[in-house]
Structures are given as structure tokens and as C-alpha cells.
Amino acid sequence: TASTPIAVCTWRFTKANAKAGEALASGKSALDAVIEGVAIEEENLINTTVGKGGAPDREGNVTLDACVMNPEGDYGAVLCVENITNVAALARKVMEDTPHVMLAGEGAEEFGYQSGFTKENLLTEESKKAWEEWKKTSEYKPIINIENHDTIGMLAIDNNGDIAGACTTSGLSYKMKGRVGDSPIIGSGLFIDNEVGGAMATGMGEEVLKTVGSFLIVELMRNGMSPQKACEEAIRRIVTKNDKYKDFQVAYVAINKAGEIGHYCIHEGFSIMKYQNGVNENVLTKFYHT
């Protein structure tokens, strides 16, 4: 068994992963650690793909998707929420304080204010300018490259060996109004089974949704596959069904109960952060398309 605690996240979110790792090292639970970790990016105005400062939809609304899952197998999510920055924490509130698992749009936002979250304008001047520039052509190419998709998904194993995860995003830039991706959907953007492991996704959400990628990976691990092989199989399901894969990116990250980590993606350019034994490092991910 690998040495715990461990935190892993999508992309090169160094500070967010360090925050989670340090929280775990100080004895915090996996759930507390991932919420604290991803909050760093939700609050980071420079990052245009998560939380405040995220790129808006075509009509200029910043709408966020997030979910969390705990070691007990409970799940909470918020979909297409406006004006609240820390949507992973809000998803946790849905999980812990309501009889439901998902709240969408205005209902999620109102529940947020009742729960003490503050109303904020999430559209920064920079994101507004970029959107106005985009509107000049309004050209929507669903071609994802590493600049415009940086959802943060995070998985952690705490000192008790328990696994939790969170996923939070502003979704695809200039998406249609009302569009929801894979990130807040159980089994797609994130799935945890504390007896087996956890998995999460980033990239073209529609492709992850159609193949229920994170659930698939956890089930493959349950049947004995390594996290690495399971991530590769989940990518294979996408590329064999959709020959347009040359134009979009999908990446998966998985961890099993023994602390083994796997990650795989379609195109070069994805990497993960891994915190273990007090070391927070960036690890490049192998890719399908060469």
C-alpha cells in the first residue's frame, strides 16, 4: 500500500493541490482537503475556466458546475449556478443539508444565499473583454485545446485511507446558455467508491457524459484493472466511437484504494499534480494520439 495521504488534481494547479496536501498532512479529512484545495482555483481571477473570472456563455453569463463525493458514497452537485464563487463548497451543502443530490440554476443560487454564500459578480473585466472580442465573429469551434479547458478535479486519500473528490468548472467558454457538462454529473466528471477508488475527468464534457467515463473507470478498477489501464480503456471507448477525437481533448485521472495513480488523455499537453510524502509534483500524462 502506498504511503498516505495523497492528493491528485487535473492540470498544473500547483497551489490548489499543495493546499489539499497540506490539509491532509495536518490530519484533515479527504473531503475537507479537496474543498479547500479547489477553492484556490475558484477564487483565482486569472484562471478563466473555474469559478470567479471564468469565461461566460455566449450571452455573457458566467455559469458554474460543481460536485463533490464523500467516502460514504454521498454526492452533491450544483449545475449552471451564477454569482457564487465557491460552488464545490455549495455542492457539499447540497449533499449535507438537503434531501437532494443536485440543485440547478436559480434554486441552487437561492439555496447558496440561504446557506451564507455571498453574491458576487463572476465576470471580470478581462473575461468580459475576451468575450466581447469573441462576439465579433461569434465563431464557436468545439475544438478544445489546452488553453480553454482547465476544470479542476481533485481526488484525495486521507490519513484514515478514506477517499473523497471534488470537481468544479465554468465549463466550455462561450457555450450555449443553459449548457451543463460532465463536471457536476455523478459518474461522468467524478465518481468515488471508497472500497475501490475514484476517478475524474476534464476536457470535452459531452464525450465524457456519453461514455459515463468516471464510473466506467471505477468499475474497471473494481474488476481488477490498474488505475492506469482503466483510464486508457475509458479513453479508448471515446476514440473508437468518435473519429473526430483529433479535434478535442479528454483526460482522466484515477486512484485506487492502494494509492496507485493512473492518468491518460487523448492529446499531448495534459498533466496532473500529485502530492505525496510532502512532495507536490507535476507529472506529465501519456496520450493516445501521436
Give catalytic residue positions.
Answer: 151
Binding segment for ligand SD4 (CB under 6 A), chosen from 118-126, 199-207, 256-264, 269-277, is: 199-207
Q: Is 150 in the site for ligand SD4 (CB under 6 A)?
A: yes
Per-residue cell: 220? 474497471
Q: Which of 202, 211, 214, 271 is the binder for ligand SD4 (CB under 6 A)? A: 202
The grid coordinates listed for 275 are 502530492
Residues 28, 52, 92, 149: which binds ligand SD4 (CB under 6 A)?
149
For the bound state, the minimum distance from the C-beta of residue 14 to ligand SD4, rounded and expressed in Å, comes to 16
Size of the site for ligand SD4 (CB under 6 A): 13
Hey, what's the cell of 23?
A: 490539509
Longest dimension (CA), the chain: 55
- Identify the CA nearest to 272 among candidates 163, 199, 211: 199
Sign of the CA dihedral with 230 first, then 194, 10, and 55 last: positive
- DSSP for residue 117: P
d(CA 190, CA 251): 12
For ligand SD4, the closer CB: 49 or 86: 49
Q: Between 49 and 285, whose beta carbon lies closer to ligand SD4?
A: 49
Say which residue the cell 479547489 belongs to. Answer: 38
Whether the CB-CB separation of 57 and 179 falls below 8 Å is answered with yes
Among residues 56, 71, 187, 203, which is the contact residue for ligand SD4, using CB under 6 A? 203
Minimum CB–partner distance for residue 37 and ligand SD4 (Å):
16
For the chain, what's the residue count?
290
Distances (CA, A) of 79 to 84, 93, 173, 252, 266: 12, 14, 16, 21, 26
Instruction: Check residue 49 for interaction with ligand SD4 (CB under 6 A).
Output: yes
Of 151 and 211, the one with the shorter C-beta distance to ligand SD4 is 151
Site track for ligand SD4 across 154-193, x = CB under 6 A: ---------------x-xx--------xxx----------
List contacts with ligand SD4 (CB under 6 A): 49, 149-151, 169, 171-172, 181-183, 202-203, 205
